[in-house]
Chain A
Amino acid sequence: MMIKSYTQLLSEYLGPGKDKMSDSSEPEVVKVENLKVVYGDKVAIDGISISFKKHYITAIIGPSGCGKSTLLRSINRLNDLIPNAKVYGKVYFNGVDIYSKDVDPVFIRSRISMVFQRPNPFPFSIFDNVAFGLKVNGFKLTKDELYKKVKDALVKAALWDEVKDRLDSHAYSLSGGQQQRLCIARSLAVDPEVLLLDEPTVSLDPISTARIESLLRSIKDEYTIIIVTHNMLQAARVSDYTVVMMPDDHMVGRIIEYGATKEIFTNPRDKRTEDYISGRIG
């Protein structure tokens, strides 16, 4: 992966004027190098190095407390919001070190958006929820353009048919599963490159879960998706690649195995992975 400057990233984001086509063939969107995250004096994860490939779904699995969410939150600098959190090591997004001083974390978050464990729509209408990211990112849109973007996002999130007649209804009038798809639509509306999902179906019923899994598969050609889950079957169903994390003897989260999902599940190299996916531990 080629290391680039923040300015280069910004100019690429702006579109035409790109002269180096070689970058577009680069399959790694996010690359983590020797990452260590510390909360106060507790080391949460250490020695994490991994690449996430463009337009694939990568699952991060592992038992509770192994640092899956911490790793995920390092990728869009959401750990910045936690007091006492310190991040060491490098995280590259399209070749740019997102922790370097000149990088605006807010811009990074609009390119790498995130869906949370519990559905957390904003306390306003369905339409305004999806439009929120567009408004705060300062997109100058006409009413029709805004409507189209909101519609596109809702269609991608497989929610449009259920809400098209009541876009002005309060988001809290939706069911839990619909709310979570609304949160996905909200994230897609800002047109990110990477979509992070932190156990997005943990509070949902099996039918809502299946819907979300199928929508993730349907959009993976356009987005790079990283999903944290401790449901191994979910990882097996949706992901192309799987990262297995496990706490070490000092409860510090580490990656113990990484590879194609099929291989991890059929032929794990690490004994602990085998124990975990077969349900012996975790």
Chain B
Amino acid sequence: MTVDARVEALIRHIEKRRRINKFFYFLFFSATLVSTISLIVIFVTLSYESLNFFTQVSIIEFLTHTKWTALFAEKHFGVLPLLNATLITSLIAILVAAPLGVMIALFLSEYASPNLRSIVKPMVETLAGIPTVVYGYFALYFITPRILRGVWEGLQIHNALAVGLMIGVLIIPIVASISDDAMKAVPLDLRHAAYALGARKCDVALRVVLPAALSGVSASIILAFARAMGETMIAAIAGGFRSVLTFNVGEAMETMTAYIAQVATGDAPHGTIEFQSLFAVALFLLLITAALNYVGIKVVRKWAIRY
């Protein structure tokens, strides 16, 4: 082979490698594009349909009216009953999941032996993988009649309490898993320093590891709360479709997601106001969860510790 031919072959080889490199760039870039474009498309669609809705119902009425009677003859579109139901069920859920999740994380990262941890952690994470329709069914046919009614007789069969408790169980793994990762990331050195001062394991766990992992722990709680707000199946099955503003957790309540599911699976014709109201509620929910995520990121950045 002449020198020129070898140079040419080398150039072809280099060109090929460069094309392959470019190909992977575009492949990975397109993958990223799919998810970002999805978000934009969802946002634009929701906004467009919502716009039609808000030409007929004022934003003021939407945000302040206390009645939501979209599917009745006399229609009112005050989102407060739905928002109230969403917030109450999510709050109950986070009251269950935050303490339990953090305690599980402390157990997994500080107390459990590597063997026990390798068994328990996947089990906890499996909780998040159970189809939520199973949770909804379980709440409606077991939690409410068999457990809750044992201590609270007047409880309605559809009620916010069972929904909140069930969502709480669903989001425990989110809190536990992310908190555990944050705790595992705390340097061993810090633990040893505490032990070398005469600390016991509970001091190390509560006074050193927990504060050191605080940004990750708060992130896990905020993410879990956002997940709770978005949970649909449990709320739809066990919460009922009763859109009334009430603070009694023993009564049926319709969350924003349950309303969307109800209308989307029902036969509200396109172009009607009840059909459009679905998009307005969805947009509202999207904005709230986006704001929550934004706050979460801010909190994490503010408290983040660089070791």
Q: Which residues of A contact B (CB under 8 A)?
A: 76, 78, 81, 106-107, 109-111, 113-114, 116, 118, 120, 122-124, 132-133, 135-137, 172, 183, 186-187, 190, 196
Chain B contacts with A in 99-150, Cβ cutoff 8 A: none
Task: Give, as a whole number of angstroms, the nearest-CB distance from A108 to chain B.
Answer: 8
Q: Determine the main DSSP class of B at the interface with A.
A: helix
List the 7 closest pairs (A to B, CB-CB), nearest first: A110-B198, A114-B196, A133-B197, A136-B203, A136-B199, A120-B189, A123-B212
Report yes or no: B305 in contact with A136, Cβ–Cβ below 8 A. no
Most chain A beta-carbon contacts within 10 A, residue among B192, B196, B212 = B196
Report yes or no: A122 in contact with B192, Cβ–Cβ below 8 A. no
Report yes or no: B196 in contact with A136, Cβ–Cβ below 8 A. no
Name the one of A124, A132, A172 contacting B197, with C-beta atoms under 8 angstroms.
Answer: A132
Beyond the given pairs A110-B197, A118-B189, A120-B187, 5 more chain A to chain B contacts, judged by CB atoms under 8 angstroms and listed by A's residue number, are A109-B197, A120-B193, A122-B211, A132-B199, A137-B197
What is the chain B residue whose CB lies nearest that of A110? B198
Report yes or no: A137 in contact with B198, Cβ–Cβ below 8 A. yes
Write out the residue numbers on chain B whose beta carbons fall within 8 Å of the beta carbon of A76: 196
Name the one of B198, B211, B306 contacting A136, with C-beta atoms under 8 angstroms.
Answer: B198
- Give the complex CA separation of A183 and B195 in angstroms: 13
Known: A78-B192, A81-B192, A116-B192. A124 touches B198 (CB 8 A): no
Question: Is the CB of B190 closer than 8 A to any CB of chain A?
Answer: yes
Most chain B beta-carbon contacts within 10 A, residue among A116, A136, A183 = A136
Question: Is the CB of B286 closer than 8 A to any CB of chain A?
Answer: no
Write out the residue numbers on chain A whose beta carbons fall within 8 Å of the beta carbon of B187: 120
Question: Is the CB of B207 closer than 8 A to any CB of chain A?
Answer: yes
Write out the residue numbers on chain B whose beta carbons fall within 8 Å of the beta carbon of A135: 203, 207
Known: A106-B199, A107-B198, A187-B197. A132 touches B189 (CB 8 A): no
Known: A120-B187, A122-B208, A122-B211. A136 touches B200 (CB 8 A): yes
Residue-wise, chain B 201-221 has the 8 Å CB interface mask toward A (1 for contact) of: 001000110011000000000
Question: Is the CB of B194 closer than 8 A to any CB of chain A?
Answer: yes
What is the chain A residue whose CB lies nearest that of B212? A123
Q: How large is the interface on B (under 10, 10 to 19, 20 to 34, 35 or more residues)?
A: 20 to 34
Write out the residue numbers on chain A whose beta carbons fall within 8 Å of the beta carbon of B192: 78, 81, 114, 116, 120
Write out the residue numbers on chain B whose beta carbons fall within 8 Å of the beta carbon of A118: 189
Name the one of B194, B200, B305, B306 contacting A132, with C-beta atoms under 8 angstroms.
Answer: B194
What is the chain A residue whose CB lies nearest that of B200? A106
What is the chain A residue whose CB lies nearest that of B196? A114
Write out the residue numbers on chain B whose beta carbons fall within 8 Å of the beta carbon of A120: 187, 189-190, 192-193
Write out the residue numbers on chain A whose beta carbons fall within 8 Å of the beta carbon of B199: 106, 132-133, 136
- Give the complex CA separation of A190 and B200 in angstroms: 14
Write out the residue numbers on chain B whose beta carbons fall within 8 Å of the beta carbon of A107: 198
Task: Give, as a whole number of angstroms, the nearest-CB distance from A185 to chain B.
Answer: 11
Q: Please, could you name 22 A-B residue pairs with CB atoms under 8 Å apart, sorted by A?
A: A76-B196, A78-B195, A81-B191, A106-B195, A106-B198, A106-B199, A106-B200, A110-B198, A114-B196, A116-B193, A120-B190, A122-B207, A122-B208, A122-B211, A124-B211, A133-B199, A135-B203, A136-B199, A172-B306, A183-B193, A186-B197, A190-B198
Task: Give, as a whole number of angstroms, the nearest-CB distance from B114 to chain A.
Answer: 8
Known: A122-B212, A123-B212, A135-B207. A109 touches B189 (CB 8 A): no
Report yes or no: A123 in contact with B305, Cβ–Cβ below 8 A. yes
What is the chain A residue whose CB lies nearest that of B215? A123
Task: Give, as a whole number of angstroms, the nearest-CB distance from A55 to chain B.
Answer: 21
Known: A120-B187, A122-B194, A136-B197. A172 touches B203 (CB 8 A): no
Write out the residue numbers on chain A whose beta carbons fall within 8 Å of the beta carbon of B208: 122
- Give the complex CA separation of A107 and B190 in angstroms: 19
Residue-wise, chain B 33-57 has the 8 Å CB interface mask toward A (1 for contact) of: 0000000000000000000000000
Write out the residue numbers on chain B whose beta carbons fall within 8 Å of the beta carbon of A109: 195-198
Write out the residue numbers on chain A whose beta carbons fall within 8 Å of the beta carbon of B197: 109-110, 113, 132-133, 136-137, 186-187, 190
